[in-house]
Structure 1
Amino acid sequence: MDFEYSARCKELQQKLLRFMDEHIYPNEKAYDEEVDRNGREKGNRWIATELIEQLKPKAREQGLWNLFLPKSPRAPEGLSNLDYAPLCEIMGRVPWAPEVFNCSAPDTGNMETIERYGSEEHKRRWLEPLLRGEIRSAFAMTEPRVASSDATNIETRIERDGDEYVINGHKWWISGAGDPRCAIFILMGKTDPDAPRHQQQSMILVPRDTPGVTIKRPLNVFGYDDAPHGHCEILFENVRVPASSILLGEGRGFEIAQGRLGPGRIHHCMRAIGVAERALELMCKRLNDRVAFGKRVSEQSIWHERIAEARIRIDTARLLTLKAAYMMDTVGNKHARAEIAMIKVLAPNVTQQVLDWAIQAYGAGGVCDDFPLAGQWAGNRTLRIADGPDEVHRNAIAKLELAKHMSIPKKDLELPITRS
């Protein structure tokens, strides 16, 4: 097992670190101020920021673009999962930074889905403008009336009517749907409720401007609206799309989801490790900068314990992430399902603990927006639910472990298909 990054990866690491130092960290406050200004002056916090749009060409000129997509003729710059991991970690240190490099969720997972499972027409119409960063997208799966941790509960109907499909359903926590540039949804729903359990669901492409699509409201995360990205509640009422909009065919939604959610999950973990690394860095600087009871706070033994534990946990999570990425590259997503599930549990929990310690080190300052920790804490906490709650992944891990020592039906060992 070789975790050595390629020469190209190392070169891109250095470029990316310089880009972050020159363009991202100095503009963190400017980004927040522009979003707030759009709300005050234009009445819309969801407008795309000029800051990010101005940085995108700079990133593209430096070859820091579409790095997430491996083995695609439309994105020759794409890296392996292993080489992408340290770059995704660096981007994850600032929540809005991945978009600058066209490497942000949910677009990355949606682009990979269309690349793998879409027709040539789908790729021409949707994938190519997504790869150019001209539009954005969303993945519509989670529903308010059912426990979407079990995706077989999904109630949204996709019914054939001649040369069209008619969609009726209610979705929520649809990430990215608040962005006015979001032009396309990949929607999961049921085409045949009477089919075998994992053959009832299908995935279909739904243009956002299709009649019957109503964005009901944005949803806050611990008081943050996450504009201009956002998470929305959406109604689909008698929405009609051409029959050619279906991906792969009826009943193949779970098959597609198995391919989509593996990379999406590990990308979340890569970014989370970046958040944890930055939190540890900020914590150490703060502790060295503050004096209490006659000595630096960093000299208090309790903080030695926390710093050491943070370093151990971050490096543990990083190594498991790299192992999962290595396996995805070498034996495929399906054979890496245990490692993907394990890191999806470990990374958000590690990051949440490190953030909590960092907030404690900052005292009252840690819970306000003068520093990035509070917003990152809120965003990271959702990762223990998004793309599958901890409990579902632990259940899958346990089944895979038990299977080494007893007979379990193969159908029960699949990676869970779940959003929240």
Structure 2
Amino acid sequence: MNFDYSPKVQEMRERLLAFFDQHIYPNEPRFHAEVEANRRAGNAWLPTTLIEELKPLARQAGLWNLFLPQSPRAPEGLSNLEYAPLCEIMGRVHWAPEVFNCSAPDTGNMETIARYGSEAHKDRWLEPLLKGEIRSAFLMTEPEVASSDATNIQCRIEREGDEYVINGTKWWSSGAGDPRCAIYILMGKTDPGAGRHEQQSMVLVPADTPGITIKRALSVFGYDDAPHGHMEIVLKNVRVPVANILLGEGRGFEIAQGRLGPGRIHHCMRSIGAAERALELMCERAIARSAFGKTIAQQTVTQERIAEARCSIEQARLLTLKAAYMMDTVGNKVAKAEIAMIKIVAPTMALKIIDWAIQVYGGMGVSQDTPLAMMWAHQRTLRLADGPDEVHRNSLAKLELARHMKLPADKVEMPITRGG
């Protein structure tokens, strides 16, 4: 395995870093000020003019749709291994990925439609998503069941003639707060009497379909993530054409496995970027401030934490690159252990380093004067999103035990979960 950045990726990385220095870091205060101004005016759920201004600049810089490999509709897409160092940089600022059309859940939804949708689906939904004209949401998690086991899903998708009728409640539907969110990918049960993993299906649901009610926005440690949002959505007798089904009835778990693999590793790439940003902030603050007669950087405890942070970041980065390499070369299914490992490791690593950075900043670290508090909230959520740590550890242990029990790895069940 060779993880050296190719000349192409190295050049793109330098270009992306320059873009951050010129357009992202200087505009962090403006982004939050714009959201707060919209909130005070009575509607925080409005797209920011800042991001819309930056998107054309990202396109011009050749930094657009980098996440989607092997798609004729997105020829600029990179392999997972090529994308990793670029996605990592995007993760340094939580709102930055949208500037490059590389933000969740759109990336996972675009990959799902590209891989499993019909040409009609791609023409109607994938093309405007790739152009950044609309946004999307993924409706899987439900409030009434333990969604760490997606076989618990209760939302019903029942066929009536040429239509599916959908009834249920979903929550943590990230991105559904954005008024540009035009399409949902929804997972529900089409046949409760089928096998455990053949009951579920995925269907495309236009966001303006009658019967859909956005009940409320859910906050994450007090943050509502406007204008993106994590919404609770009620669907009552929502009707969509039968043609909106992805692949066919009973294939929801198959699609979810294909979708969540890339989604999980993208989260991990961004987690490494967040940890790098936190370490940079920690070092800058430690050098600039003194306590008890010497700089914070001269305190032994700070030096130990900086050293351990660097080791932890490098370890997580190497594991992420290995998982990305395997996804590219042997496929997501074979790489499932590596994907599970990095999903366990990366958010926990980032949380530890962000927490240390907060300690160096003191009271300022938990205020709005640094990005650290919001970074911590996002990373803590990732220990639940796309599967809680416990489920991934359980699956990983089963894979390890299977090696010693002479069981084939494909007989070991892996989680299809988004948390909750």
Q: Smaller-chain TM-score range?
A: over 0.9
Note the aligned Cα RMSD (angstroms).
0.8
Q: CA deviation at 1:148?
A: 0.3
What percent of counterpart residues are identical? 73
Q: CA deviation at 1:414?
A: 3.3
Distance in 1 (CA, whole Å) between partners of 2:413 and 2:257 is 8
SS at match of 1:177: coil
Kindly tell me the number of residue pairs found equivalent between the two proteins.
419
The residue number in structure 1 matching 2:181 is 182
SS at match of 1:386: coil
Distance in 2 (CA, whole Å) between partners of 1:44 and 1:91 is 27
Q: CA deviation at 1:11?
A: 1.2
The residue number in structure 2 matching 1:3 is 3
Distance in 2 (CA, whole Å) between partners of 1:6 and 1:334 is 26
- 1:57 equivalent to 2:56? Answer yes
The residue number in structure 2 matching 1:36 is 36
The superposition leaves residues 151-184 of structure 1 with CA deviations (integer Å, 9 ceiling, x where unpaired) of 0000000000000000000100110000000000
Q: How has the CA–CA distance of structure 1 residues 326 and 410 changed in structure 2, closer, same or farther, with 3 Å as cutoff?
A: closer
Assess if the C-alpha contact under 8 Å between 2:402 and 2:409 holds in 1.
Answer: no
**What amino acid is the match of 1:268?**
H
- 1:18 equivalent to 2:10? Answer no
- The alignment's TM-score, normalised by the length of structure 2, stands at 0.99
**Which residues of 2 match residues 132-281 of structure 1 at below 5 A?**
132-281=131-280
**What amino acid is the match of 2:356?**
W
Distance in 2 (CA, whole Å) between partners of 1:40 and 1:418 is 36
Q: CA deviation at 1:408?
A: 4.3
**What amino acid is the match of 2:131?**
R
The residue number in structure 2 matching 1:375 is 374
**What amino acid is the match of 1:38?**
N
The residue number in structure 2 matching 1:92 is 91
Q: CA deviation at 1:382?
A: 0.2
The residue number in structure 1 matching 2:82 is 83
**What amino acid is the match of 2:32?**
D
- 1:73 equivalent to 2:44? Answer no
SS at match of 1:256: helix
The superposition leaves residues 373-420 of structure 1 with CA deviations (integer Å, 9 ceiling, x where unpaired) of 001001110000000000000001101101111044766513210011
Distance in 2 (CA, whole Å) between partners of 1:297 and 1:359 is 13
Distance in 2 (CA, whole Å) between partners of 1:322 and 1:226 is 29
The residue number in structure 2 matching 1:352 is 351
Q: CA deviation at 1:66?
A: 0.1
The superposition leaves residues 249-283 of structure 1 with CA deviations (integer Å, 9 ceiling, x where unpaired) of 00000000110000000000000000000100100
Distance in 1 (CA, whole Å) between partners of 2:49 and 2:362 is 34
Q: How has the CA–CA distance of structure 1 residues 214 and 62 changed in structure 2, closer, same or farther, with 3 Å as cutoff?
A: same
The residue number in structure 2 matching 1:362 is 361
**What amino acid is the match of 1:3?**
F
The superposition leaves residues 351-393 of structure 1 with CA deviations (integer Å, 9 ceiling, x where unpaired) of 0000000000000000001000001001110000000000000
The residue number in structure 1 matching 2:308 is 309
Q: CA deviation at 1:313?
A: 0.6
Q: CA deviation at 1:223?
A: 0.5
Assess if the C-alpha contact under 8 Å between 2:116 and 2:246 holds in 1.
Answer: yes
**What amino acid is the match of 1:264?**
G
Gaps of 5+ in 2: none
The residue number in structure 2 matching 1:115 is 114
List, as ranges, runs of 4+ consecutive aligned residues in structure 1 with deviation greater than 2 Å. Answer: 407-412
**Which residues of 2 match residues 408-419 of structure 1 at below 5 A?**
408=407, 412-419=411-418
The residue number in structure 2 matching 1:386 is 385
Distance in 2 (CA, whole Å) between partners of 1:340 and 1:410 is 14
Gaps of 5+ in 1: none
Distance in 1 (CA, whole Å) between partners of 2:225 and 2:119 is 34
Distance in 2 (CA, whole Å) between partners of 1:292 and 1:2 is 44
- The alignment's TM-score, normalised by the length of structure 1, stands at 0.99
SS at match of 1:198: coil
SS at match of 2:197: helix
Distance in 2 (CA, whole Å) between partners of 1:85 and 1:142 is 27
SS at match of 1:404: helix
Distance in 2 (CA, whole Å) between partners of 1:237 and 1:409 is 43
Assess if the C-alpha contact under 8 Å between 2:137 and 2:181 holds in 1.
Answer: yes
Distance in 2 (CA, whole Å) between partners of 1:401 and 1:408 is 10
Q: CA deviation at 1:40?
A: 1.7
**What amino acid is the match of 1:261?**
L
Q: CA deviation at 1:72?
A: 0.1
Distance in 1 (CA, whole Å) between partners of 2:281 and 2:54 is 25
Distance in 2 (CA, whole Å) between partners of 1:230 and 1:8 is 35
- 1:403 equivalent to 2:374? Answer no
Q: CA deviation at 1:346?
A: 0.0
SS at match of 2:182: strand
Distance in 1 (CA, whole Å) between partners of 2:144 and 2:234 is 13
The superposition leaves residues 8-57 of structure 1 with CA deviations (integer Å, 9 ceiling, x where unpaired) of 1111101100000000000000000000111222x111100000000000
